[in-house]
Structure 1
């Protein structure tokens, strides 16, 4: 399977498999060609998305207050190379990373967001951020691979990682350019087809084509936020594309992208994607990402319809797709202030937890419940015995009292 794939091919494959995947990595095979490591979430081949899905799973758990299993966290941290970068998957972590290993920005940035949320991993997190900064492109953005042309998805996930690590994305610059400048170049003007959207990358002629996945990512990246975010302040301006002769501000970039997403979602309540030669079909992952983007922008009213659609229709998709898909839904629910444990009749947290090693909090809760049950059973036994003696004592008292009365003249 070719790792370097076009955005269009990736998007098409993602619809079939349904799982969240990095910007230009190949999607995972449903039949593992390697053994699933102990501590890793999911059962599909991790060759192309192991670190990505693990990072999203752990971040989603922490977002809802679950403490992941220690071995799950250790697996993620153990995937890091000495220079701070992460590859999609390292089967043999005892072997040092070499030039043949394809490290990438998406896996590294996702790992940073997860490690930052987990705490106690500042050294690993800081090394990863240092590596990301060292490969920033001159236009201020990032490509999937070091030295690759900047794309909206990779630039945005790195911006989220910088924010999670306590950096201001707009202040992390190369040649005077930041992630904002890279996203600005990928934003489509309001007065042309696809206006307001973000393109994944310019085409060979420099043209920009609207891409829903890139747009959802671009909105969050422009706002300097990551995968797990809460709703922003409801804006006062008109909910439309903000045309301007001057360079757009980050807020205007996010506003324009949000306006495009609302239009693309339309009355159906979900985004669509089509395979070559096939009819349009629901795009569950990008719909979930769009809910996060709209909520982050403060357009919670506009995000209610796609969220409701996901609540009613995403269960089978998430079950088939695995931990990254459950994480995307958790992020969408969390951004909107909804309860991911009661998501259209599905407990997303329980379903996510079941795709990997039992979280510490779950194990402790189970043990505590068992101990409590033991104490309850013990207490029941003690009080049952005491009750028997009390009843017996009362009976004896009645007998003694009766005898006393009978002895009176």
Structure 2
């Protein structure tokens, strides 16, 4: 289990948390008015809000002031974000700041026209850079170590903010240097062109790490503009720069989608990872290549749209936001994506302000409670494998422990 989690990566686990669902109504304490989704936002509040805002903007539906204000209210004094601040009046702890949440929030704010706040968040990402040039997710998971997902998201954020990624360096290295150091070589027996989650020997393909790394290497940000990709699929060649490294990964993703009939399997061993599948389509469209793979993936996503965005009858804002991004990039009607009105589905999850009422002795003690995590479920990156949401914290702690232990012991080749 620990090895599977480490191979999947922190970002993959955080993405798994994004579709959390609870049965509580979408009504919140005033501090959570405007937040999308009724799930406990402890682990993914800012991340899913960023995806939701980006998806709505991509669909031509500007989020209301409450949704944007909620995101702005989550920002820390240094420009970064944590996964979620239950009380925005309490100053952030640097150790709890999260680069993935910061990246999604930054891109969302820039897309929403809140350029100053978004650019401040983009610059704050420099605080997550390590000596190898890469970026880590959060110090909350143990000793920080660079990973492909966090680095790719940081590069995409720099692109959104108009920041030259080669100007953000540590020890003379930048994010592109780090990603190239963990790319599976063309001479590998399998996975050539893909990225690993973190350095190891030998390097192994990690699909979710690859899809988040590629967009940043391409110098692209979310949302991806609509485009019709060419049929060509790049062949793997030894990379010499960001462009050739990205091309090699695009070739891997196109072939991966084709081989899996447009449904990339979950890294957790069961079902399909629709989040990775959707992001692979965004990468191919951003690169302008792999038309056949895009069409196959799009058809699979449309067929499974309803099951992807719902869990126990509740809508996941992160999943809906992701599909809205796909719909916009592919020129698909977001109001009828596989028979689902994605815009309406997402807007229906936005938390409203508490109703004003005269308190009574029986009601005053529990007025407008914030939804809790019970009886929540945790679909793992698009599959239907469910865990109690309380286990999410255990999963994250176990992953952090695994990363720390792995960093402290010598690496051995996989048998």
Deviation at 1:6, TM superposition (A): 3.2
1:279-323 deviations in Å (ceiling 9; x for gaps): x42211111111111111112332111011111112122122511
Deviation at 1:232, TM superposition (A): 6.4
Q: Does 1:292 align with 2:287?
A: no
* C-alpha spacing 1:31/1:104, structure 2 compared with 1 (3 Å): farther
Deviation at 1:31, TM superposition (A): 7.0
Trace 1:237-248 onto structure 2 (pairs within 5 A): 239-244=233-238, 247-248=239-240
Partners of 2:281 and 2:297 within 8 A in 1: yes
- The alignment's TM-score, normalised by the length of structure 1, stands at 0.75
Deviation at 1:162, TM superposition (A): 1.0
Residue in 2 aligned with 1:189? 185
Match of 2:296 among 305, 308, 312: 305
| RMSD across aligned positions (CA) | 2.7
Partners of 2:182 and 2:199 within 8 A in 1: yes
SS at the partner of 2:310? helix
Partners of 2:196 and 2:206 within 8 A in 1: yes
1:156-185 deviations in Å (ceiling 9; x for gaps): 111111111121323333333222111111
Partners of 2:57 and 2:112 within 8 A in 1: yes
**Structure with more contact order per residue of length (Cα contacts < 8 Å, sep ≥ 6):** 2
Match of 2:124 among 131, 149, 169: 131
Q: Does 1:142 align with 2:150?
A: no
Partners of 2:12 and 2:208 within 8 A in 1: no
Partners of 2:109 and 2:118 within 8 A in 1: yes
* C-alpha spacing 1:154/1:286, structure 2 compared with 1 (3 Å): same
Partners of 1:20 and 1:285 within 8 A in 2: no
* C-alpha spacing 1:118/1:240, structure 2 compared with 1 (3 Å): closer
Deviation at 1:8, TM superposition (A): 2.8
Deviation at 1:51, TM superposition (A): 0.3
Which 5+ residue runs of structure 2 have no aligned equivalent?
Answer: 353-415
Task: Quote the Cα distance in structure 2 between the aligned partners of 1:231 and 1:178.
Answer: 29
* C-alpha spacing 1:177/1:9, structure 2 compared with 1 (3 Å): closer
Partners of 2:97 and 2:138 within 8 A in 1: yes
Task: Quote the Cα distance in structure 1 between the aligned partners of 2:46 and 2:274.
Answer: 21
Task: Quote the Cα distance in structure 2 between the aligned partners of 1:126 and 1:271.
Answer: 33
Instruction: Count how many residue pairs are aligned between Structure 1 and Structure 2.
Output: 336
Q: Does 1:270 align with 2:263?
A: yes
Which 5+ residue runs of structure 1 have no aligned equivalent?
Answer: 22-26, 359-409
Match of 1:116 among 106, 110, 116: 110
Deviation at 1:11, TM superposition (A): 8.0
Residue in 1 aligned with 2:245? 253
Q: Does 1:68 align with 2:58?
A: no
* C-alpha spacing 1:282/1:167, structure 2 compared with 1 (3 Å): same
Residue in 2 aligned with 1:364? none
Deviates more, 1:227-236 or 1:321-330: 227-236
Task: Quote the Cα distance in structure 1 between the aligned partners of 2:261 and 2:103.
Answer: 33
SS at the partner of 2:102? helix
Partners of 1:151 and 1:201 within 8 A in 2: yes
Residue in 2 aligned with 1:200? 197
Residue in 2 aligned with 1:324? 318
Deviation at 1:324, TM superposition (A): 0.6
Task: Quote the Cα distance in structure 1 between the aligned partners of 2:70 and 2:256.
Answer: 39
Partners of 1:202 and 1:209 within 8 A in 2: no
SS at the partner of 2:282? helix
Trace 1:227-242 onto structure 2 (pairs within 5 A): 227-230=222-225, 234=229, 239-242=233-236
Deviation at 1:28, TM superposition (A): 4.7
